[in-house]
Structure 1
Amino acid sequence: MLVAVSWQVAVDGPLLGVDRWTRHAVREGRHGLHSTLLNHLGAALSDLGGSVPAIPVLLAGGALAAWRSYRAGVRRWWSPVAVAVLTAGLIPLLVVPAKAWFARPGPFGVPLAPDQWGWYPSGHTATATLSYGVAALLVGRTLGARARWRLDAAAALLAAGVGLGLVWSDYHWLLDVVASWCLGALVLWALVRWLPHGRPRSAPDSPSDRA
């Protein structure tokens, strides 16, 4: 889906009609409801995708997971910190070059300034999806199944809320947000698949074990 959406954005394809239809529908709904509360909520949700607070939450999740792993006697207990730091550095490496290459104008259609990045994909959505998702993944690996499910659900709701808040507030096209959700999901899938499972440190062999 990420490839298809990116291709349509690159060639200004017919799929972008979804963006225009969605923006028109959201604008009509916003004007019809005329709710200050919803408008403030949309802006607040959008702000959750900023580097602050998302990156501090990511790093704190890595630190908490490392501390819990250390207490549990896990080999390479420090690896969650490394994963969190690498994820924080990976986000701009994935988003900024894509924004510069696609150079997509925002919903208001104002041409980009020479020193301005484009709107595709959504940086706030990617930051939220990866920061909250990876934090939940790292901490969840140190918890039971029920707590892990709750953390994953909370991270998914935050990522969804940020994206919807951006669309509601007319900060981004819908496909900008969808692309970043897909990008974040791919990175999280890779981490779930390839991140090694922590194991407790082996205790010294007892005499009976050596017999």
Structure 2
Amino acid sequence: MRTERNLTRLDRVFARLDREPERPAHIDVPRMSRHRIALFAATLAFYLAIVWLVVITSWLVRLDWQVMFFRPYQQWPEIHAFLDYYVVLGQRGPTAVMVAAWLGWRSWRQHTLRPLLTLGASLLLLNITVGAAKLGMGRLGPHYATTIGSNEMGLGGDIFPSGHTANAVVTWGILAYLASTPRARRWLSAVSAVVSLGVGLTTVYLGTHWLSDVVLGWAAGLLILLALPWCEPLIARAEVGILDLRDRWRERRAGTLPAPAAPVAVPVPFAPRPTAQEEAAAARETVAAARSPRAPVYLTPGPHTPRSERTPVTPAGSRRPPHTERLPRGATASAARPLTGG
């Protein structure tokens, strides 16, 4: 009786991907055009300018202190409760889960792993670049500032640039980057810009970040989105590699791995048939080789003699004196003794 194997959820997902192995034609992959390269260069210059203005304790640092002393959370306390929840849209864990769920559905619909792999690549770049900048500059936040008017750099902090802001730009901006149509891309770009702008200003309102932290976070997130087309070839190779691993896993699980190739017979050169004398000589050599080796001469047993006829010997010779008249046992005495007259 034929039985069918029960498909798991992972099998059904890959079966959906196998229905259309190629990416749909209407989905265009962004390329690194001249316009994008120019925007990347301008954003990078802006990023370096913000860092320089903070390092030299310029007017931007004075503006940070003025906003901090203004204490927005005391000026508008009625929106404090709402902004406490709104700032979650910039936290890495919750936003990554929400966006990954949406992009997983997109992968299911478009029969490709590219949306999820692009999200993973962007979050990896975000953690490396923003994390390194935070640890490298070591700026303290407003609640932990030590000297009024200073830039608070190099004191072991980790708030410059703002991680919430950069994460909001990347996580929500990836939806616009992966949009299928130009119209959807424009709308999603506007929505992600509003969300990331609101998250950054919320951190300033709560007093957890300086204003310059938020500005640098916007630039850091935009740099990652602009640099994603350079990662597209690597994403495509990763997708092919994952699908190849999937196929091998399926073969190993089903037990249909290719069998080892049969040995190829090597042709033997023609040799003349041996004669009868040669066959007989080869047989004798085989029998002789199969026999056990002969014992040494000094261990070879001699002819068997009864114990009564053996003469005990020692290294010095016989222990018995020679008796010329002694006859061996069993001989008759009459035959041995000479007859004498009466």
- Using the size of structure 2 for normalisation, the TM-score is 0.48
Residue among 150, 158, 161 paired with 1:118? 158
Separation of aligned partners in 2, 1:120 and 1:79: 31
**Deviation (angstroms), 1:94:** 1.3
Residue identity over aligned pairs, in percent, reads 30
What is the match of residue 21 of structure 1? 66
**Deviation (angstroms), 1:105:** 0.8
| Cα contact 1:49–1:162 (8 A) shared by 2 | yes
Residue among 139, 151, 170 paired with 1:104? 139
Matched, 1:78 2:113: yes
| Cα contact 2:176–2:186 (8 A) shared by 1 | no
What is the match of residue 90 of structure 2? 49
Residue among 147, 150, 153 paired with 2:187? 150
- Partner SS, residue 158 of structure 1: helix
Matched, 1:177 2:214: yes
**Deviation (angstroms), 1:4:** 0.8
- Partner SS, residue 7 of structure 1: helix
- Using the size of structure 1 for normalisation, the TM-score is 0.75
**Deviation (angstroms), 1:24:** 3.1
Could you tell me which amino acid in structure 2 is paired with residue 124 of structure 1?
Answer: H
- Partner SS, residue 144 of structure 2: coil
Separation of aligned partners in 1, 2:56 and 2:158: 15
| Cα contact 1:106–1:173 (8 A) shared by 2 | yes
Could you tell me which amino acid in structure 2 is paired with residue 7 of structure 1?
Answer: W
Structure-2 change in CA distance of 1:60 and 1:167 (3 Å): same
| Cα contact 2:173–2:193 (8 A) shared by 1 | yes
**Deviation (angstroms), 1:137:** 1.8
Aligned pair count reads 183
- Partner SS, residue 146 of structure 1: helix
- Partner SS, residue 94 of structure 1: helix
Residue among 185, 202, 206 paired with 1:165? 202
Residue among 83, 94, 107 paired with 2:129? 94
More helix by share: 1
After superposition, the C-alpha distances for 1:22-67 in whole angstroms (9 at most, x for unaligned) are 2234x1x5434442xx111222222211122211133234323323
Could you tell me which amino acid in structure 1 is paired with residue 172 of structure 2?
Answer: Y
CA RMSD of aligned residues (A): 2.7
- Partner SS, residue 12 of structure 1: coil
User: Runs of 5+ in structure 1 lacking a partner?
Assistant: 71-76, 199-211
Separation of aligned partners in 2, 1:85 and 1:115: 32
- Partner SS, residue 160 of structure 2: coil
What is the match of residue 3 of structure 1? 48
- Partner SS, residue 143 of structure 2: coil
- Partner SS, residue 59 of structure 2: coil
Could you tell me which amino acid in structure 2 is paired with residue 89 of structure 1?
Answer: L
After superposition, the C-alpha distances for 1:110-163 in whole angstroms (9 at most, x for unaligned) are 469x9964210111111111111113321x1x2x33333222222111111110
After superposition, the C-alpha distances for 1:172-204 in whole angstroms (9 at most, x for unaligned) are 0111011010111122223368758x9xxxxxx
| Cα contact 1:96–1:117 (8 A) shared by 2 | no
| Cα contact 1:49–1:124 (8 A) shared by 2 | yes
What is the match of residue 31 of structure 1? 74
Q: After the TM superposition, which of the residue ranges 93-102 and 51-60 deviates more from structure 2?
A: 51-60
User: Runs of 5+ in structure 2 lacking a partner?
Assistant: 1-45, 147-151, 237-342
Higher-Rg structure is 2
